[in-house]
Amino acid sequence: HNHESSIEVFTTRPDTIYGVSFIVLAPEHDLVKKIVTSQTAPFVKKYCNQIKLKTEKERQSNIKNITGVFSGSYAIHPFTKKMLPIWIAEYVLASYGTGAIMAVPCGDQRDWNFAKHFNLETPNIFDKKDISEKACTDKSATITNSSFLNDLKVQEAIKVAIQEIDKQKIGTRKINYRIRDAIFSRQRYWG
């Protein structure tokens, strides 16, 4: 189908925009119903109904058992114009960010696990970093295979990426406050 919908994603790592190889929506996301194809609809519906029975805590702690379903649709990468498959998976929570993520398997362990499990593309954008066994979360890495971000260190690339995203009017900078369980935030003060 051709949809005019756009998917708003939240990321703390705009420097990894060229490492995005798929999109993941939370099962509760509004777009899920709109983007399923006639072939995928029964599977998506069944999956979303199963996930509805779980709490957010259960979903977050379910790291070993990777689940997800392909929506049948694709999103267009804002810079490369590549078609990115849109998946639906329980590890993305509707309550976090926008309920949609740009998946960067080379830089995020949960995305890496998901990509490995479903045999999805894992482009590497970190210079001289091996991502065959796990994602690279080293913030001192140098970016590569990323057009205008090539040869920049992560921190610098984040700034440059935000400027470009702003300039092209495809995104905005936002400060995200994460409210955690009171019990966890208290631990910090007790040493």
Residue 7, token pair as written in the block: 């998917």
Q: Is the alpha carbon torsion for 171, 32, 121, 137 positive or negative?
A: positive
Provide φ and ψ at 4, rounded to 5°. Answer: -95, 5
Q: Cα–Cα distance between 48 and 44 in angstroms, integer?
A: 6
- Compute the distance between CA of residue 179 and CA of residue 153 in angstroms, rounded to an integer: 30
Distance of CA 168 to the CA centre of its chain: 21
Digit-by-digit pLDDT tens for the chain (191 residues) are: 566 778 888 788 899 999 999 999 999 999 999 999 999 999 999 999 999 999 999 998 877 899 999 999 999 998 899 999 999 999 999 988 889 999 999 999 999 999 999 999 999 999 999 999 999 999 999 999 999 999 999 999 999 998 988 888 777 766 555 555 544 444 444 44
Q: Tell how many helices (H) and how many strands (E) occur in the chain.
A: 6, 4
Tokens linked to 13: 């790592």
Which pLDDT belongs to residue 190? 47
Nearest to 92 by CA among 23, 13, 177, 5: 23
pLDDT of residue 117: 97
End-to-end CA distance of the chain: 54
pLDDT of residue 184: 47
